[in-house]
Structure 1
């Protein structure tokens, strides 16, 4: 009998806690209003709300996409020892928009600039998008350096010399162009060109830049991206895949562990050496999309990136792929 009475009292207490909690957290009523409705004092209502939380009647969780983006950032930083991870959540009006990622990349770049920074830029749509998202500013002592040779395609908007000039213009700074193609015919020609004073000085400046701004490309059976169209055929792609390449950064290919797949094409490249990218303290990599998840993961595992800028879907996919390995 006593147990039945105790259970009944317990139930009534829980019903009271549920009613008070519902009025306060769901209906938005004030503690003073609830006190008047139920005949309690305001301090009593406050204590009931606290009890409701302690007994699990109420569980408060933050569900805004920003909170999940912050959680993904923290996981990426801790798991891959990054200096920073910057994860954009989707624009409700246009979930497929890349604008949040590009804006985040532009904001990060500006926050890292110092009065006399040297910024090295590669090429591609991600870098072009970040440059386009930047507001005009006055960083007159900043120098922008072309990190890799030109791809010499019709679409100059994503080529390295044009991006170098445009970034310098929007920052109000100076620039230095690398007067060379991305690749040459053979490794001997590449070695000779690297000794040419104008080319060697530019590559040296880019190799020791304060910040490297780059994208991350995917290497798949479908190819390695538009920047390689002039140099890659099916045989070259097959060879890269045989060597285990999953992606590329700054014109260099790497495998799932982020190790350099040092094929013949890499020896013909004119640009920042792979080791300098890996050893640079501030490499901002902007990349997103399902097809790039293995490449992004490889770059993170290999320590090729210090600051990753991506979206929430890609970040979660990268973490899931790493968990599955």
Structure 2
């Protein structure tokens, strides 16, 4: 006899099977006997109960069950950072991906980090491209009237809006009540275009702001060769990028934080990592198990000194560095 489609199971039956199996620790055979059905049907009932949200299973990394203050201090100590700002746990995605829900969860923690940056009217706030900063820029941040907001990398030729740094710059400036200035240049111009772009006064004006910046807000990219979403200019066939575990502002680095180059990087219009290190307040925002190694490598390189993340990612960092403290 054909089994019924799991999508048509009675919710009461799904709940009964889930309660017996997960709360009363009955085996699938015992659940089948109690409900008068087969083990195969019980397996389908349990799978459907998870799919529709009757059963919710959370995998908690070691350390993420610590009180928030203790967990943030522990991560800061392990990574050698000034501060770690923890958001609430990301909400259930209900069929959406984590990136679809992270912006509203992370934005208040990013706002706290920006409010403690000591920015005054006339100060320069740099922002990077990337999906995380883009999603955060959709929500309210702290008021920073008179602050000049500028991009850290070109990208006006990228089709995805989260790699359009000017768009993110505009959004962040609107959220903080600052003034936006734009970089009208591709991230990696061709050999003939690159010299002329550097001579353009409007472009040079933005590049001159980089070493003057008081604060930088940046995302942290996952290992480039494991990503399904990456800027078009990145040469994913580059042998050198096999060593890269992440990037900030489109500058790649290995697990020790050592910069990783690629062919044509001399034409990359992006803030230099040495300039980034000298900015007084550097705030990175990143979540996800795929970014744990990227976060650690960036801290080792000294590319940021303050981190915004969620409890699950913080716990995964603690699990990855149980004995180690980054100098």
Is the TM-score greater than 0.5? Answer: yes
Structure 2 counterpart SS, 1:214: strand
The Cα offsets for residues 275-300 of structure 1, whole Å up to 9 and x where unpaired, read as 11122221110001011111111001
Higher helix residue share = 1
Query: Secondary structure, in 3 states, of the residue corresponding to 2:105?
Result: helix
Query: Whose relative contact order is higher, 1 or 2, with alpha carbons under 8 Å and at least 6 apart?
Result: 2
Asked if 1:177 corresponds to 2:171, the answer is no
Matched, 1:118 2:124: yes
In the aligned structure 2, how far is the partner of 1:265 from the partner of 1:123? 20
Contact 1:119 1:206 in 2 (8 A): no
For the pair shown, which has the larger CA radius of gyration, 1 or 2? 1
5 Å-filtered alignment, 1:203-218, equals: 203-218=207-222
Count of residues in correspondence between the two structures: 255
* Pair 1:202 & 2:206 matched: yes
Which position in structure 1 is the counterpart of 2:240? 239
Match of 2:266 in 1: 267
Q: CA deviation at 1:83?
A: 1.8
Superposition RMSD on alpha carbons, in Å?
A: 2.7
> Any idea what SS the aligned residue of 1:221 has?
helix
Matched, 1:168 2:173: yes
Verify: 1:148 aligned to 2:150, yes or no: no
Residue deviations 1:56-107 (CA, integer Å, cap 9, x gap): xxxxxxxxx7852221211222233312111223157779642332321123
3-state SS of 2:137 partner: helix
How far off is 1:265 after superposition? Answer: 4.0
Query: Per-residue CA shift, 1:245-290, capped at 9, x if unaligned?
Result: 1101001000001111133243221021111112222111000101
Which residue of the partner structure matches residue 255 of structure 1? 254
**Conserved? CA contact 1:127–1:158, under 8 Å:** no
TM-score, normalization by structure 2? 0.69
- Runs of 4+ aligned residues of structure 1 deviating over 4 Å after TM superposition are 91-97
Q: 1:79 to 1:135 in 2, by over 3 A?
A: closer
Superposed CA deviations along residues 207-261 of structure 1, whole A, max 9, x for unmatched, are: 32111011000124334x6342x2235422x4310xx211010010000011111
In structure 2, relative to structure 1, the CA distance for the partners of 1:221 and 1:316 (3 Å cut) is same
Checking the alignment, whether the CA contact within 8 Å between 2:110 and 2:141 is kept in structure 1 is no
| Residue number in structure 1 paired with 2:137 | 131
1:100 alignment partner in structure 2: 105
Deviations 1:146-204 (A, max 9, x none): 21101523332552101111222222221211121111124x75355334332222012
- Secondary structure in 2 matching 1:323: coil
Residue 314 of structure 1: SS of its match in structure 2? helix
